[in-house]
Chains A and B, each alone.
Chain A
């Protein structure tokens, strides 16, 4: 699975796509694959603030619960309502099935995220 070059990645396996002052956030293909069949996503409300490195929600597969970590700080401007009824979209197209859109508070935070190449290396090492 190719990791889009124009996204940035966290070591907790989230991706963010930046468009102007807004970041669109989801989890990576590696993350969905480790989780297995995803059945439930819990997201913040529009208008909520999220903090870089802190939990903004949870994603659950049949067998496990995982926290979602915000790649950047900011205010949530949209959530992907479709995931409430079709969470399996995250399995089938992880890099398109976005979760939240965030108005980025501090663009400098983006600098500490991984590039696609670095993330791919990180995953390869983590997977032994």
Chain B
């Protein structure tokens, strides 16, 4: 265990950085951002990745996701621009509706996965990943350049907090008069939260749980006040502040893709299994020609869920083998799953090995450890009774 000193480029910080440090969070460089990975303790309670993960599955967790970027596209041809630049069909959106989508390269591979919100006619708000912010902004500007619209990088205008878990609505209801039950999943509204008027409240997240993301003013004082009041209001629900460690294991159990892992500039939509959100029938868009060809020719590899059936943990980048030990693919994300209490992984393998029940191996430190293709998502939140 050796700490490597790397050349320190200036890390970007969210407005809550001092708050995380005061809570004793372990900080890491994530996509150029100095972010909390976990909070070992919280007000004398046991914290850490597993406790944070379970708090989110069983009660509620609070995440600072202000490192995520945001792009606003508005103007007379904003709709046409969004249709051209993204793979989902924005004609299905209405005011207050959001959709999962992606920005694609002409070859049908990923610039990034995104959420597109329709604020109003010809006014869209796109949430993008932290590590790809500059790339995405430039890409969207270029993709929209031939349309009469304005593309603005508005990522620094918000502190974005994710309140996630089965108790998220109960918690947020203590802080707003807004009718939260009326906001369905992948919908949003504006309401007063903790005295902050016109706060964007979206029923979105990256944990596989019910939950909300709220966008508040980015100054340190307001950000810290909201953060602390959410934690205070969440006490009765067993809230924990959660870091990127739990965010990663939660999204992995729910099979939500992570850029640079399940999706990248060399993986196409069909390989990633995200074609449900790719509407080739909507008309031409960036990547559509290449994807029509992929649809005809078929894919050479497919994303599958693996569960380790022998003792061992699959990790990002580990090789996947068939039963005879021949290398057939690799793990994109692998980890112990704190809620499921299993060792799980996502991996790319040729389609003939993708059938549920197929026995495979993951090479762990030179040894093939038994694994099996299982249905995904690994975790599905229970239906409301």
Contact = CB atoms under 8 A, between A and B. Distances in A.
B3 interface: yes
A63 B245 contact: yes
A62 B336 CA distance: 6
A36 B248 CA distance: 15
Given A33-B40, A36-B38, A62 B49 contact: yes
A33 B40 CA distance: 8
A40 B336 contact: yes
A126 interface: yes
A37 B50 contact: yes
A64 B166 CA distance: 28
Interface in A2-22: 12-13
A12 B2 contact: yes
B79 to A, nearest CB: 42
B1 A66 contact: yes
B26 to A, nearest CB: 8
Chain A's interface: helix, strand, loop or mixed, by majority?
mixed
A58 interface: yes
Contact of A58 (B3, B37, B245, B365): B365
A34 interface: yes
A35 B315 CA distance: 15
B260 interface: no
Interface string B1-24: 111000000000000000000000
A37 B40 CA distance: 9
A13 B1 CA distance: 7
Nearest to B52: A37
A62 B1 contact: no
Contact of A126 (B3, B26, B338): B3
Contacts of A35: 1
Interface string B246-258: 0011000000000
Nearest to A11: B2
B313 A36 contact: no
B370 interface: no
Interface in B18-38: 26, 37-38
A43 interface: no
Interface string B289-317: 00000000000000000000001110100
Contacts, number: 44
A116 B101 CA distance: 55
Contacts of B37: 36, 63
B211 interface: no
Nearest to B3: A126
Contacts of B315: 65
Contacts of B365: 58
A62 B40 contact: no
Contact of A63 (B1, B312, B335): B335
A60 interface: yes
B1 A31 contact: yes
With a 10 A CB-CB cut-off, give which of A12, A34, A35, A36 has the most chain B CB atoms.
A36
A72 B148 CA distance: 71
A52 interface: no
Nearest to A84: B311
Contacts of B312: 40
Interface string B35-66: 00110100000001110000000000000000
Nearest to A63: B245
A39 interface: yes
Nearest to B26: A36
Interface string A34-70: 1111011000000000000000001011110110000
Contacts of A34: 1
Contacts of A37: 48-50, 338
B2 A62 contact: no
Contact of B245 (A33, A36, A65, A126): A36
Contacts of A126: 3
Contacts of B38: 36
A28 B315 CA distance: 24
Contacts of A61: 49
Contacts of A63: 37, 49, 245, 248, 335
Interface of B: 1-3, 26, 37-38, 40, 48-50, 245, 248-249, 311-313, 315, 335-336, 338, 365
8 contacts: A36-B37, A36-B40, A36-B48, A40-B313, A61-B49, A62-B336, A63-B37, A65-B313
